[in-house]
Structure 1
Amino acid sequence: MYRYDEFDRDFVKSRVAQFKDQVERRLSGEMSEDQFKPLRLMNGLYLQLHAYMLRVAIPYGTLSSRQLRKLGSIARRYDRGYGHFTTRQNIQFNWPALKDVPAILDELAEVEMHAIQTSGNCIRNVTADHFAGAAADEVADPRPFAEILRQWSSLHPEFSYLPRKFKIAIVGADNDRAAIQVHDIGLQLKKNEVGALGLSVYIGGGQGRTPMVARKIREFLPVEDMLTYITAIVRVYNLHGRRDNKYKARIKILVHETGIDELAREIEAQWEAIRHTDLKLPQSDIDAIQHYFKMPDLPERSEGWVLLAQAQKADEGFSAWVAQNVTRHKHPDYGVVTISLKPIGGIPGDANAEQMDLIADIAQRFSSDEIRVSHEQNLVLPHVALADLKAVYDALKTEQLVTANAGLITDIIACPGLDYCALANARAIPVAQRISQRFGDHQRQLDIGDLKIKISGCINACGHHHVGHIGILGVEKKGEELYQITLGGSADAHTSIGDIIGRGFSSEDIVDAIEKLVDAYLDVRLDRSENFLTTYRRLGAEPFKQALYGERAHAA
């Protein structure tokens, strides 16, 4: 893992001191809330419906045990005993008192963490594949390049006041586990025909009120050109991005209005002017950062296969958990463990302080002191020996952390919605809980198979509903919560935006509507090997409209 250098430490320490003074002036009344707002947002502090919310950066989703314990301690001491992991691989504390925020930031700095650039019209927390450095299908670990981007973008003087917030994601495998095509810039590491490492570059993806899939503008960019090329992209966006209308200020609108070919020409011209400057990455710098992320020393544990088979035979619950929540590792004697933060009927993405402490202990003992946060609101242990899986399972079970539903219908993404967020129109959490309860039977989930449900409480789409196989958007209509359904979305290598299929449903009816959709899928799929998304792409919306609206399908 990356360790702060002297610049990082001084930079974070000075920012904490600066913000402490600003908070004191706000509390004394010397500064109004309007005056305070831009200052607090620069430090990740939002004003939600009921309280302030602090969003803490977890760059590329990587945590150490020490850092996770600190997050648990902050939850216990300064909040209500829990934190909420988000689709940006961050953690949010929903109830901090303003007077305590400087102390929280001080404590975060002790473990090389902060809340800078988790808000504002700047380059936000760079996200990456949560299986990075461990996945068997990986071409290269994307985290060193995410770290280079973090260092380059932090308080970048040219890009601190962009037309709108700007998000970058990077993945190192063909299997896109970072949703790169719904980001302002998406990067995919790959090797060319002679084995050189480079990047496919996508621009102009995003969700919100105008969802768009990113367009590829470079098939192969040598990694040493990453910073020069991204500088060219952001510089062109900063010059031409709209500042008169925040709803049309994202780079996706610039791509749409200008045209990808013309925009690509301008980016290439800008790049030619700067590609040989000192932003060109020397291999020595790349090597230095990659050293921080080298594979841990993983000893051979060939006995694990026998021990695993024996444990699976003896414990049905453990066997189900392994089948669903453990993924192949680069090392044949190890696995990658997804810890579901989606217990049946629970709040997606929440973890309490005791759970965080436990996961930190397990990671230190069994996973080379590493934890990952996924954009799907789960936690990951990236390096667990197969021989240790049963011990890990038994430990996780003490805090109800062994729900075997990774990738299944109850592994729901949901934003905080109207329970917390001042921008929301409808609740998302209770809908997620009720759907989870309806489909909680494990065998039923297995029968349904791979099905991603994503729920947003407003058009800002923090719950990624546009790219859910089934997406649910909460809106307000005549003072009532109404839920609109989209079908066919996906955030993988074949990203698609879901189709709105008809009129919305009340809070009372939305769960029944989801069940009708699932039943319709089970009726029309070719066999159990055909998942929901494949079935929808094969047949289109009509059988699902019929299931929901009957004779009014065409009119809807």
Structure 2
Amino acid sequence: MYQYDQYDQKIVDERVQQFRDQTRRYLAGELPEEEFRPLRLQNGLYVQRHAPMLRVAVPYGLLSSAQVRVLAKIARDYDKGYAHISTRQNVQFNWPKLEDVPDILAELAKVQMHAIQTSGNCLRNTTSDQFAGVARDELVDPRPWCEIIRQWTTLHPEFAYLPRKFKIAVNGAQQDRAAIEVHDIGLEVVKDSAGQTAFQVIIGGGLGRTPIVGSLIKENLPWQHLLSYLEAVLRVYNRLGRRDNKYKARIKILVKALTPEVFAERVDAEWAHLKDGPLTLTEAEVERVAQHFIDPDYKVLADEDFSALDAQYPDFAQWRSRNVMLHKKPGYAALTLSLKTNTRAPGDVTHEQLDAIAGLADRYSFGEVRNSHNQNMILADVEQAQLLTLWQELKALELATPNIGLLTNIICCPGGDYCSLANAKSIPVAQAIQQRFDDLDYLFDIGDLDLNISGCMNACGHHHVGHIGILGVDKKGAEFYQVCLGGNSERNASLGDILGPSFAQDEMPEVISKIIQVYLDQRIEEERFIDTYRRIGIDPFKERVYAADH
């Protein structure tokens, strides 16, 4: 993984000292709230419903075991004993005291971490495939390109105050696990007809109040011009994006207003001034960054035959079928640690678990951990021969729920329990659904299904692109929940259709049960929920859910 050089470390250390003094002056009454607000946002600090929330940057979801141990220490010493994995692969702490935040940032800086640009109207964390570099279906490793983008975007003076926040995602595999079509910029790393690395550039995707699937703006952009083209995109947005209405300020609104074709013309006109200039990437620069992502010291192994173990340990077979992924190297596996149980909010991980995960990473996975935008954690380089032993350790840590890709692997924002913007609570709904579908045999029969929950229209839970999406709404001061069906965040992304009138919180488990029953009644052989929905449409679901006995 990427290691800071002296310049990186100096930037982060100086930022800690700056914010320490800014916080001191604010607490002493020397710095007004309106001046302190943009300063704290630039350091990832929000004011939530009950306490500040600190969002820690985890570039493209990659962590060392040493960094995970520091996150555990922060959760233990400065928070309420847990951390939260966000849908941008970052880590959030929900209960730090404002006066402690400079000390937390200092702890992070010791292990090359920070909270810079995790909030505010700037270029946010660049995200990617949680299996980057190890996936068997990968065409190009996206991590070096993510790092190049990170270095370009960090404290970029021209883009420190954009019309609104800005998010980039990069994918290099056949399957899109980075949801690139619903980002401000989505980049698909491909090989062109000459076998050279190039980029498909998708612009104007996003969720929130106006969900939009992005448009392909540039095909086969040569790798040398990646940064100059992105700079042109950001310049056009910075100049033409709306600043009079924050709900209409995202780049997706600009692309829609101009049309993708006209927006592409504007970008090309701006790019003409930048192409072949100082931002042009060289082979030496790409190689310098790529050297941080070379393969670890893999052994020469063969794939294991698990048939005997599967027969002896059926629970192990279930876990392996859902949580373990094919690895590019024979004899290795990438596996997902499920942070989705009935006992915690989706995406929460305790300080004890974090410490244990760091130890497991050192013993089993070359000291590396990843976060996924599905709010889970990953050990990416485990020898297949060690899977049974590791599974037994994960079970003891409550990290081995075999539900990856299943209904109870819920993406869920913090909702009204924490967020001051939320219209309704998200976590109780997620837990009630998890409890209703606590039968693993039934979950496995249902099969692949994404269920996402957001507490408000900001869509931090990505409800628009869940196969089943749930949105918290305010109904004359009461919390209700709107359901949509047919969303999808992977390749050929789609936005869900609203089912109909909203439901009270206690109705939600039964509503989801009825939706699932329609699917089971209507599916053909091994057809997935999303495919059945696309085939039969919304009406059968609407008829069942809103039947007279509702």
1:392 partner SS: helix
Matched, 1:49 2:34: no
Secondary structure of 1:305's aligned partner: coil
Aligned-partner SS, 2:287: helix
Q: Is the CA contact 1:180–1:186 (under 8 Å) kept in the aligned structure 2?
A: yes
Give how far 1:280 is off. Answer: 0.6
Once the 2 structures are TM-superposed, how far is the Cα of residue 489 of structure 1 from its aligned partner?
0.3
Match of 2:247 in 1: 247
Partner of 1:520: 518
The within-5 A match list for 1:25-104 is 25-104=25-104
Q: Distance in 2 between matches of 1:500 and 1:253?
A: 21
2:533 counterpart of 1:536: yes
- Which residue pairs with 2:547 in the alignment? 550
- Code of the residue aligned with 1:534 in structure 2: it is D
Q: In 1, Cα distance between the equivalents of 2:139 and 2:499?
A: 38
Q: CA deviation at 1:345?
A: 4.8
How do 1:75-154 residues align onto structure 2 when only pairs under 5 Å count?
Answer: 75-154=75-154
Alignment partner, residue 426 of structure 1: 424
Structure 1 counterpart of 2:493, one-letter code: T
Aligned positions of 1:283-294 closer than 5 A: 283-294=283-294
CA contact 2:319–2:400 (8 Å) conserved in 1: yes
CA contact (8 A) 2:424 2:455 kept: yes
Name the structure 1 match of 2:213. 213
Question: Residue 156 of structure 2 aligns to a residue in which SS?
Answer: coil
Provide Cα deviations, 1:482-522, integer angstroms capped at 9, x if missing partner: 10000000000010010012100001111111110001110
Assess if the C-alpha contact under 8 Å between 1:345 and 1:436 holds in 2.
no
Conserved? CA contact 1:344–1:403, under 8 Å: no
Q: What is the identity, as a one-letter code, of the residue corresponding to 1:97?
A: K
Q: How far is 1:301 from its partner?
A: 2.8
Shift of 1:201: 0.5
**Correspondence for 2:462 among 461, 464, 482:** 464
Identify which of 443, 458, 474 aligns with 1:445: 443
What does residue range 278-427 of structure 1 map to in structure 2 within 5 Å?
278-302=278-302, 305-306=304-305, 308-427=306-425
Whether the 8 Å contact between 2:218 and 2:264 is mirrored in structure 1 is no
Distance in 1 separating the partners of 2:432 and 2:40: 35
- Aligned residue for 2:115, secondary structure, equals coil
Residues 15-34 of structure 1 mapped to structure 2, 5 A cutoff? 15-34=15-34
Distance 2:30 2:287 in 1: 49
Measured in 2, the distance between the counterparts of 1:220 and 1:193 equals 9
- Residues in 2 aligned to 1:27 and 1:551: alpha-carbon distance in whole angstroms: 58
Q: Does 1:495 align with 2:455?
A: no
Kindly state the Cα deviation for residue 33 of structure 1 after the two structures are TM-superposed: 2.7
Aligned-partner residue type, residue 545 of structure 1: K
Q: Give the aligned partner of residue 480 of structure 1.
A: 478
**1:301–1:387 Cα contact (<8 Å) kept:** no
Query: In structure 2, what residue type is equivalent to 1:546?
Result: E
Q: CA deviation at 1:394?
A: 1.5
Q: Which residue matches 2:182?
A: 182
Whether the aligned pair in 1 keeps the contact of 2:201 and 2:216 (CA below 8 Å) is yes
The equivalent of 1:232 in structure 2 is 232
User: Is contact 1:209–1:459 with CA below 8 Å preserved after alignment?
Assistant: yes
From the superposition, tell whether residues 191 and 456 of structure 1 become closer, same or farther in structure 2 (CA, over 3 Å).
Answer: same
Q: How far is 1:28 from its partner? A: 1.5
Query: Using the alignment, how far apart are the partners of 1:542 and 1:417 within structure 2?
Result: 29
Say whether the 8 Å CA contact 2:202–2:218 is kept in structure 1.
Answer: yes
Question: How far apart are residue 272 of structure 1 and its match?
Answer: 1.9
Distance 1:414 1:263 in 2: 33
Residue identity opposite 1:508 in structure 2: D
* Structure 1 unaligned regions, length at least 5: none
Judge conservation of contact 2:339–2:347 (CA < 8 Å) in 1.
yes
SS at match of 1:7: helix
CA distance in 1, matches of 2:537, 2:512: 17
What is the Cα deviation at residue 310 of structure 1? 3.5
1:370-410 deviation per Cα after TM superposition (whole angstroms, max 9, x unaligned): 11100000001111110111121122122111100000000
Does the 8 A contact of 1:358 with 1:396 survive in 2? Answer: no
Amino acid at match of 2:539: E
Q: Which moved more, 1:164-173 or 1:33-42?
A: 33-42
C-alpha displacement of 1:59: 0.3
Equivalent-residue separation in structure 2 for 1:151 and 1:282 (angstroms): 15
Question: Within 2, Cα distance between the matches of 1:552 and 1:154?
Answer: 56
Task: State the distance in 1 between where 2:314 and 2:356 align.
Answer: 23
In the superposition, the TM-score normalised over structure 2's length comes to 0.99
Unpaired segments ≥5 residues, structure 2: none
Write the letter of the residue equivalent to 1:319.
A
Higher alpha-carbon deviation: 72-81 or 188-197 = 188-197
2:275 match: 275
CA distance in 2, matches of 1:260, 1:194: 27
Q: Which amino acid aligns with 1:131?
A: F
Corresponding residue for 2:2?
2
SS of 1:522's equivalent in the other structure is: helix
Q: Which residue of 2 aligns with 1:256?
A: 256
User: Greater CA deviation, 163-172 or 267-276?
Assistant: 267-276
Point out the more displaced range, 451-460 or 215-224.
215-224
Structure 2 counterpart SS, 1:338 = strand
The DSSP-based 3-state class of the residue aligned with 1:262 is: helix
Query: Conserved in 2, the CA contact under 8 Å of 1:345 and 1:437?
Result: no
* Cα distance in structure 2, aligned partners of 1:452 and 1:346: 19
> Residue 53 of structure 1 aligns to which amino acid in structure 2?
M
> In structure 2, how many angstroms separate the alpha carbons of the residues matched to 1:429 and 1:148?
36
| 3-state SS, counterpart of residue 495 of structure 1 | coil
Q: Within 2, Cα distance between the matches of 1:550 and 1:454? A: 24
- RMSD over equivalenced CA pairs, Å: 1.2
2:434 counterpart letter in structure 1: S
Instruction: Indicate the SS of the match to 2:389.
Output: helix
Q: Residue 552 of structure 1: CA displacement?
A: 11
Task: Compute the displacement of 1:32 (Å).
Answer: 3.1
Q: 1:242: Cα distance to partner? A: 0.2
User: Does the CA contact (< 8 Å) of 1:344 and 1:410 recur in 2?
Assistant: no
Q: How many residues align?
A: 550
- Say whether residues 1:204 and 2:201 are aligned partners: no
CA drift of 1:549 comes to: 1.2
DSSP 3-state at the match of 1:274: coil
